[in-house]
Amino acid sequence: MNAKDHAAHRVYIEALRNMTPEARLRKAFELSEFVNQLFAHGLRKRFPDLSEEEFKKLVRDRLDKCHNRNW
């Protein structure tokens, strides 16, 4: 991590510390939704010809592979 990234990270951490627990939880859900949208968008670009049903199955199958099986 370079100095610029390190400084930005410190600002981000400070912003999180200044949030209420409710706001931090809300932000976590927002980020999670954003990541899911990016994931689906990337898959759709790779598999543009799949039907909506096939695509939803592909997304579920790929996400299932990501879950930690140690829980």
Residues 58-71: pLDDT tens digits?
999 998 888 766 65
Q: What would the 3-class secondary structure string for 13-27 be?
A: HHHHHCCCHHHHHHH
pTM of structure: 0.71
| Residue 10: pLDDT over 80 | yes
Domain ranges of the chain: 3-66
Amino acid 58: pLDDT = 96
Q: Kindly state the DSSP code that residue 2 receives in the 8-state scheme.
A: -
Amino acid 24: pLDDT = 95
